[in-house]
Structure formats: structure tokens, C-alpha cells
Amino acid sequence: MTAPASDNPFSGAGLDRRSAARAESSWLPAALADRATRFVLSSGTRHLIERTPEPRIAFLEGNHPLIAELDPARLVLLGWYQGARCVLIDAPESGFELPPGTALEELRALLGLLPEDHASILACARALLVWRTRHQHCGACGAPTTPRSAGHSLSCTSTECGAEFFPRIDPAIIVIVTDADQVLLGRQASWPKGRYSALAGFVEPGETLEDAVLREVHEETGVHASAPRYFASQSWPFPSSLMLGFHATAQVGPLELDGELEAAQWFTTRDIADTAALLLPPRHTIARRLIESWYLNASGSPLVVS
């Protein structure tokens, strides 16, 4: 199967991570001394955004008063962006003024609007913010944790424990099942009217990705799929998933829903192209790319619906 080049949001050219630099004890003084360093301010899971007129990160410079007042533990080295250090400010919920023309906004509402490199930076920032919030205390002994490795690990402060914690990523499969010119899609009750998308679910302990694909398809629709083939992946920091896209095949037949989906249906290529009858996933999702890649191969033409 021919697949287009990977162009998922939250991937690619945003950050040069340079993970070895996290071990350098001088990383923070060097970042503060370098006038080229870019600071990304986030509070909770909201990020400082400017609209000029399109939304983009409102980077701060190192001489901003807020940075001098912060506990250094609230600064995280994300990597290098356009050749300069890029540092996350894990700001408190209140007690500081925003620069004129900026606002704190949630990333999900900005999907499809941000430049690709800015979306990639904020995906990394959001995942780290959620992880830091959820691991302020040791999961083994309950003692407070403190950041290490430029904010990319958290260590238990108890000398008797000393456990170390790293950012968690939850793998989830997302798959379209096809039979020649038909594709199996499902919908959840909370989605906009008419929207159908690829089937998805989390990978369980001790399970391979391929096993998860076949299990999820059967659990949600009763279909016995086969031949799962990896397509592409997409970071999905809501809060910390990695979506692993697959194609699989099955024979068109009756469906048996387990209650997780409100509905599921086999659609033809003609159905997929009919915008009046079907609302597809947004363009910034891997689900949409899975559908588009299948449609191109099944019909011989690119999908042109919005």
C-alpha cells in the first residue's frame, strides 16, 4: 500500500532535542546568559499564545521579569529551536502578568491553526507539564520529588528510597479496516453529528501492537480483521498518548457493537467523498490521514473533501 509522507502535526522539525545536554549542570546558567534563548510560558495545560493574526507561541526573552522570580525547578530544557535553546516555563496558576496582546490558551483548541513547528513544541511542553503535575510525590514512598536532567526526570527526595521517574507515554493503536473499496469506521456518541472515524484503543500490558489492533477491532465491532500493517504515528498529548496508525483487512459483514461505539458502518469510496452524508476526522489527525491514504489507493484519486 502506498502511503503519503508523514506530515502529522506534533511531529518533525519543531525541536532538536539534544538529550545529552540535559546532563550538563550548567545548562540553566547558559540558557539564561544566552540572549537568543526562547522561553515558552505555560501554566497548567495552557500556553502563552499571540495572534498576529494567526495563533503562534508568544516566546519570552530571558530578561523577562517573571523568569528571574521563578524557582529554577520550574524551568525545563525542551531542546533547540531554530538554532537557539528553547526552555519551558512551568509557571504557577496565578501571580504574574501576561505580556500585551497575549493569552493563555489550551492546545486542543489550536489544533490545525498553529504552525507545524510551534505545534510540535507545544506537544512536547504539554506532555511534560501533565507528567510533572501528576508526579509531584514519589509513587513508591510518597516523599516529594525534585527535577533532574534539565526537567526530564523526577527523583524521590527520600534518601531511603531515591526512586527516579521519567515521562510516561501511553501507546494506543488507531486502525482502519478495509475490504477493497469499503472501509469500516465508527463513531462515539460525544462526537459532532455525522462524524465517523478510525477505530482506536490503548495497548494492554503484555500485548503487541498487532494483537491490540485485532483485539480492538473485534471488541468494538465483532469483525475478525487480519494482516495489520503499520502506517505512521502521531503524538497526541491529551494527556500523553502515542497514536500508532495501522491498516488492516476484513470481509464486509454484519457488525456487533460492544457499547463503546454509538455506531459503526462500512462505507464505500463514494460514501467517503459525499460531504453531505459523512463528517470525516479533522485534517490534523492521523485518523484522517489513514482514511485519505486508503481512499487514494482504492479510488486512484486524492480525497478532496474538507
259 neighbors 250 (Cβ within 8 angstroms): no
What is residue 9's predicted lDDT score, i.e. its pLDDT?
Answer: 62
On whether both 129 and 144 belong to a single domain, the answer is no
On whether both 139 and 255 belong to a single domain, the answer is no
The yes-or-no verdict on residue 13 having pLDDT over 80 is: no
What is residue 12's predicted lDDT score, i.e. its pLDDT?
Answer: 62
pLDDT tens profile 17-75 = 999 999 999 999 999 999 999 999 999 999 999 998 899 999 999 988 889 888 999 99
Residue 5 belongs to some domain of the structure: no
On whether both 25 and 120 belong to a single domain, the answer is yes
- Please say which residue of 84, 117, 133 terminates a domain: 133
Residue 4 belongs to some domain of the structure: no
Instruction: Calculate mean pLDDT across residues 112-122.
Output: 91
The count of C-alpha atoms lying within 13 angstroms of the C-alpha of 3, restricted to the half-sphere facing its C-beta, is 18
CATH classification at residue 267: 3.90.79.10
On whether both 141 and 44 belong to a single domain, the answer is no
Q: For cell 490521514, what's the residue?
A: 289
On whether both 97 and 151 belong to a single domain, the answer is no
On whether both 112 and 158 belong to a single domain, the answer is no
pLDDT band at 95 (very low <50, low <70, confident <90, very high): confident
What is residue 6's predicted lDDT score, i.e. its pLDDT?
Answer: 46
Residue 206 belongs to some domain of the structure: yes
On whether both 65 and 145 belong to a single domain, the answer is no
79 neighbors 15 (Cβ within 8 angstroms): yes
On whether both 105 and 182 belong to a single domain, the answer is no
Residue 243 belongs to some domain of the structure: yes
C-alpha cell read off for 95 = 501571580
pTM of the entire structure?
Answer: 0.90
Print the domain residue range for 49.
19-133
The yes-or-no verdict on residue 2 having pLDDT over 70 is: no
On whether both 186 and 287 belong to a single domain, the answer is yes
Report the sign of the C-alpha dihedral through residues 230, 195, 186, 203, in that order.
positive
pLDDT band at 179 (very low <50, low <70, confident <90, very high): very high
On whether both 114 and 228 belong to a single domain, the answer is no
On whether both 276 and 235 belong to a single domain, the answer is yes
Beta strand 38-43 with 84-91: parallel, antiparallel or unpaired?
A: parallel
Residue 246 belongs to some domain of the structure: yes
User: What long-range pairs does 20-26 form, CB within 8 A, spacing at least 24?
Assistant: 21/77, 21/150, 22/77, 22/149, 22/150, 22/151, 22/152, 23/149, 23/150, 24/150
Q: How many domains does the chain have?
A: 3
